[in-house]
Structure 1
């Protein structure tokens, strides 16, 4: 028996969850579904977008299913990722038949670091004329996500990992990311090829030659943007689900 926390959220999230659970119930596996509240309507009803009860429900589950949230999306999904230490975000960019895709031959994975970078909620308005946002990059977190990307490539018969950064401008933070990328690559030498591109060049290559990618690994903000660009190649955001993976749990956004 697997205990699954179900967080439908707002809008289309409820319909997505109903369809997802219908599929899961057709499998020869025992699931116990427990429901939690989160999102815009939850904020209006309870005064908070992500109640502690929902966080505890997610922490005590074998896995979580999350639908969608409106204006409170960052308060919900970002916090869930951090509370559950879901360090890897996986977005498969895959072409499916009979869909309105720009390309019919794509099958690559975007692996995004989920717990730090620009999405640590450390912003402040220091005067009326300006504001500051902090970006945190640590060796531990970047090593973990890059190693995960190489392991994913190895386990899924992929031959290449592409690291994406902006180390020519962000010399310290993205410089560290690039350094770790090639440290990890040495451990897979002869098995997995490695390359790296600046994020702006990658955005162009996703349009001009997306079939050249197999596994992309990058930091939080860059991965968020590139994932949505990838979705546009295969029919839209509804065509690429999201998996958030941690050492002790997982949260999926069908």
Structure 2
């Protein structure tokens, strides 16, 4: 029997690549978007879901269960970027980012868990970020929201052991997607004390995305995880140096690692 997969944010970027990869291999795939009418040419159905509107989460999950009778895999992929000096990012944008990157995925998990528990089977894959392993300058809010999702997954895994429900994190590095277009950018203010370093860092971040890896690398990793009996707690996907940066953080003194980051961002 083909596995039923729900991918939040499955209309573009990494989510779309994962969805098409799985669909082409016989999976029953459902994606989500806040504006599904914009994706009528999608290979798989796109349901209306806004991570900040819990009723849309419930409706999407119920739609799939009613049609398919089960949900085997949840891929929490939808998320939002945010950049800027923490001092200058409005509180509403701080909360908005956590609503999308942290509270939203948790609410999707909570909504699918009763069905997975009834099945006595399920897999939840949370797409986080390599940025979630370290506090990056001018991406601190994004690092914090993705890092929080990484940590709560560790706790969730242990709580779900009794129900044969597995959970894991997949942390991508920089991939060639349109994430920068949907990112919240704190404006580059002429009179800001952060104008020069923030401007330089912003240019560097955008260049990394533009020259990023092929999203199909993420699709292949997710496919392997789905076909793994006992997934690891954490997976990292991306360029060698991006993945190696996590190892360096683990082994280097804090101030040495901080200096490496500041040199990288020319701060």
TM-score (normalised: structure 2): 0.29
Higher helix share: 2
Structure with larger RCO (C-alpha < 8 A, sep 6+): 1
TM-score (normalised: structure 1): 0.30
Higher strand share: 1
